[in-house]
Each structure stands twice: as structure tokens, then as C-alpha cells.
Chain A
């Protein structure tokens, strides 16, 4: 299996996957801790009509189209969540369904052909171009840099919003920056895992990491490491069994979570049965 790594397309896929793992794992932790998993999934789906429009308008292009759609979606959801009657994901769920439908309608209206729908929704890591890899590198560098600066603020505001606001811990700035970063990283990851599966890498490794540790720094490290490991494992599995890589990676993250969740449940039962 490993001799296949000589193939340039596979090397590009591995490089893109490993580079993306860093911002996906780090951002994922904040998404899990701030209970934004559903929102993050919806941002991924919201890029779908954006990509279709971007493909139809060469002046815009799929990257800019997706990014504009993701940012527009984030801004609209943040604004509507300010209305307490729509809290708890109602607006997110509605916009998710509308985005998926709009993407399908636009794709059909355009006559299809150039972009098969499964590739837009599930990605094609084995088909990423060198330009995609460069985009991943730039997106990852920006996201990691901004997250490093925001880290203390994000921790303080996620832990206790009531205190962080008056203490001057930059509550609004960190919340807005986080939404922009989610949009950016999701769009960078689209060619690799597509709009429906990006949330698997954004949420599942971080959720798994949360079960492993009670400290923030190890959680960030675990999430990044798991994301990289599961991407590589999924990619090799896809090569070996001739599966779509995005789906194989998502299945591996799910299995990883299942194993750790079962182990964590067993461990807590053991400590309850035999108290120290």
C-alpha cells in the first residue's frame, strides 16, 4: 500500500489533509466547547450554493463564492440568534435546509456537467490540485496565527461570558473572529472533504479529544493529532478499498470517537465500582 505514496496526487492529498488538520483540530475545540457544532455543520452546507454560483461566474470563482456564502451565512445566523425567540438552532436548521435546496436548484438551473454534485458535497481529496494545497497552506497559516493570538481571550470568554465582557477580555472580537475563521477553514477544506463532510473533521476529533482530557492545552493537541491521524488513515483506507476519500475519513473519525467514548464510559464505570 505504501508504495502508492509515490504517486504525486496522493502526496498532494496527504499534504493537504495534514496541513488542514491543524486549523480543523484547533478550531474544532472551540466549536465543541462553545456548542457550535450544528452551526459549523451548517456553515459547511451554506458554501454549497456559493460554490455553484462561483463556478457559474468565472469572475467570482468557487473559492470566493463559497467564502462569501459562508461569511454571509455566519453573519445572518449571528444576527438572528440575537432574537431570543430563534435561539437553540431554529434559524441554523432553517438556513441549512434552504442552502442545500438553493445549491441543488442552482446546479440544475445551470445545466450540471462541469461539477458533479457528489464532488461538491463530499469532496475529492485525491483530486486536489497544487493550487488547492497552496490555498490550504495559506488558510491554515492565517487560522493558526489568529487562534494563537486569540487563545487566552477565547478561553476566558468561553468559560465565563458574564465576567469576560466587563473585564475587557475582548468578548465580541473573539466571537466574531472565530466565526470568520470557521468560514475560512471550511472553505479551504471544501476541495478535500466537501461541504457535507467538513463538519466531521471540524467537530468529531475535537469531541473525541474532549473525552480524553480535562485540560485545554492537551485537548487542543489531541484534537489536532487525531484529525491528522484520522485523515491519513481514512485516505489509506480509501486507496486500499477504492472508497471515496472524504467519506472514508468521516467514517474513520466516527469510529475513533466510538472507540474513545466506549473506553471513557468503561473507565468511569471502573472508577465507580472500585473507589480509590
Chain B
């Protein structure tokens, strides 16, 4: 892991296009270790694309760099929930990449996987099949798998979307613990208020970078309005977002 406070995630002039559609344009920022960054923006703003570029799975121009190893939690919708595996098996999968081609997960890996299940509050569901878990429990298992990767940078794609409130609380505690232990945590989200409450940095995207910085600098109506435009509503000085989840471009 890099020294505390040094940049671990950085992009410079990052641009991505899918055919004729420009998904990201000239995005440059730096994130330091020991921070918890919320990536905000309307649908189609390029949040997931940004994570893909950082992971190297999406072709891009400019640079997108992760210092150290990334651990990743994709959106839960992409997963085959009928695959025959239990919660413990899902977390154990996080150990595979570091084991190489020849070694099998050993007792140490299993012990670590059980500790992580404990941490995400799924100890009692260790032998429950993934398909039988609730949405929130599935998301906790997937976060457990990412923690098992023991990466330096934790990239989370909408980890709290469609997750029940108790699960969301558990997950936010886990993310905060990761930040405290010096990791760089990056989370895309639709939930402005939640991001403002739990993240210490915000990154506001709308294809290009609208704002990046400390939460108190970015979470201001005049800044948010540049990303969300007319979808943003101000009530008694409180910011509310109109119907973002169903918003289409």
C-alpha cells in the first residue's frame, strides 16, 4: 500500500466513447489513500464507465491509473444468481486470483472468508445458497468477496442501490472501516443525501467532470445544479433530487 495520503487513483484527460456517443470527456482528478469518495451524477453521466476505465476493462484515451491492486464490487444485477454456490463460496472466490493457477484455497483462506462473512453480518448465512439470499444479503456477500481480494483500492458500483436499510448500514460501516485502514474507497451512487452524509470526498460527473473535492465544497446547490440541471429541487435550503432513478437521457 502506498504511503498515507498519496494519490492512489488518478485520471488525466480521460475520455471514453461508445461508437458516436461520448461517455466521458477529458476527466482529470486525483484521489488519495484513506479517503471515501462518492461518484455522483445523473443516469448516463459515466459513473460505471469511469470504474471500467480505472479497472482497464473499457478502452479509453488519456490515462486512468490505480496504484496498487483494485478490488471491485460490480452492480449486483449482472450476476447469475442460479449458480450453485453458498455465501462462504462467494467470499472465498475473492481469494482465487491471488492464489495463482496451481494452489487451492487452504484453511487460512477459509478462516479469512469466515471472518469477512462475520464483518458483513452474514456469519449465520455462510452455507445458504446465493440464490436464496435477499438482495441486501447478496450485496453483502459480494462486498465480502471484494474484501477477500485485499486490494488497495475498493471500487464500488452502486453498492447500496436496492439494498434494505439494515444491510446498507452494515455496508457503510464496512466501507468506513476500509477507509480508516488506509484504503481508497470509491463508490458510485444515485443517492445524493447519503453520499453527502457518508463520503468525505465527492466527484460530480456529467460526462465531463463538474466538480471534485471535499464534500462540503461540492455538496452545494450551485455546484450540484451544474450536473443535474432542472432535476434538482431546493426546499428550505435542503437539496432534493427529483425522480433520478427513472431519469432517462
A162 touching B80 in the complex, CB below 8 Å, given contacts A167-B72, A167-B149, A216-B85: no
A161 touching B78 in the complex, CB below 8 Å, given contacts A152-B105, A156-B96, A166-B56: yes
Cβ-defined contact, B96 with A152, below 8 A: yes
The yes or no answer to A160 lying at the interface (CB within 8 A) is: yes
The interface residues of chain B, by DSSP majority, are classed as: mixed
- A215 proximity list for chain B (CB < 8 A): 84-86, 129
Cβ-defined contact, A159 with B72, below 8 A: no
- B70 proximity list for chain A (CB < 8 A): 166
A168 touching B97 in the complex, CB below 8 Å, given contacts A152-B105, A161-B78: yes
A261 to B66, CA, bound (A): 49
Cβ-defined contact, A152 with B104, below 8 A: yes
Cβ-defined contact, B86 with A160, below 8 A: no
A159 touching B93 in the complex, CB below 8 Å, given contacts A149-B101, A215-B86: yes
Nearest B-chain residue to A166, judged by Cβ: B55
Cβ-defined contact, B86 with A152, below 8 A: no
Nearest B-chain residue to A159, judged by Cβ: B83
A163 to B83, CA, bound (A): 15
A167 touching B90 in the complex, CB below 8 Å, given contacts A149-B102, A155-B85: no
Cβ-defined contact, B80 with A214, below 8 A: no
Cβ-defined contact, A210 with B84, below 8 A: yes
A162 touching B78 in the complex, CB below 8 Å, given contacts A152-B99, A169-B97: yes
The yes or no answer to A176 lying at the interface (CB within 8 A) is: no
A153 touching B96 in the complex, CB below 8 Å, given contacts A33-B83, A214-B129: yes
- A149 proximity list for chain B (CB < 8 A): 101-102
Cβ-defined contact, A214 with B84, below 8 A: yes
The interface residues of chain A, by DSSP majority, are classed as: helix
Cβ-defined contact, A159 with B104, below 8 A: no
The yes or no answer to A158 lying at the interface (CB within 8 A) is: yes
Which chain B residues (86-115) contact chain A, with CB distance < 8 Å?
Answer: 86, 89-90, 93-94, 96-97, 99, 101-102, 104-105
The yes or no answer to A219 lying at the interface (CB within 8 A) is: yes
The yes or no answer to A108 lying at the interface (CB within 8 A) is: no
A158 to B89, CA, bound (A): 13
A33 to B130, CA, bound (A): 15
- B83 proximity list for chain A (CB < 8 A): 33, 155, 158-159, 216
Nearest A-chain residue to B75, judged by Cβ: A162
The yes or no answer to A258 lying at the interface (CB within 8 A) is: no
A165 to B86, CA, bound (A): 21
Nearest A-chain residue to B55, judged by Cβ: A166
The yes or no answer to A213 lying at the interface (CB within 8 A) is: yes
The yes or no answer to B79 lying at the interface (CB within 8 A) is: yes
Which of A159, A167, A219 touches B97 (beta carbons < 8 Å)?
A167
Which chain A residues (143-198) contact chain B, with CB distance < 8 Å?
Answer: 149, 152-153, 155-156, 158-163, 165-170
- B201 proximity list for chain A (CB < 8 A): none
A160 to B141, CA, bound (A): 13
- A158 proximity list for chain B (CB < 8 A): 80, 83
The yes or no answer to B57 lying at the interface (CB within 8 A) is: yes
Q: How far is the CB of A157 from chain B (nearest CB, A)?
A: 10
A216 touching B89 in the complex, CB below 8 Å, given contacts A152-B105, A153-B96, A168-B97: yes
Cβ-defined contact, B78 with A160, below 8 A: yes
Q: How far is the CB of B116 from chain A (nearest CB, A)?
A: 15
A159 to B85, CA, bound (A): 9
Which of B79, B99, B102, B105 touches A159 (beta carbons < 8 Å)?
B79
The yes or no answer to B182 lying at the interface (CB within 8 A) is: no
Cβ-defined contact, A160 with B79, below 8 A: yes
- B131 proximity list for chain A (CB < 8 A): 214
17 chain-A/chain-B pairs, Cβ below 8 angstroms: A33-B84, A156-B96, A158-B83, A159-B79, A160-B78, A161-B78, A162-B74, A163-B72, A163-B142, A163-B145, A165-B57, A213-B84, A214-B86, A214-B131, A214-B132, A216-B83, A219-B84
Q: Which 9 pairs, one residue from A and one from B, show the smallest C-beta to C-beta distance?
A: A166-B55, A162-B74, A168-B97, A214-B129, A162-B78, A152-B96, A159-B83, A156-B93, A160-B79
Which residues from chain A sit less than 8 Å from chain B, CB to CB? 33, 149, 152-153, 155-156, 158-163, 165-170, 210, 213-216, 219
Given A155-B85, A168-B97, A214-B131, output 18 extra A-B contacts at Cβ < 8 Å. A33-B84, A149-B101, A155-B83, A155-B89, A155-B93, A158-B80, A159-B130, A160-B80, A160-B142, A163-B72, A163-B74, A163-B142, A166-B70, A169-B93, A169-B97, A215-B129, A216-B85, A219-B84
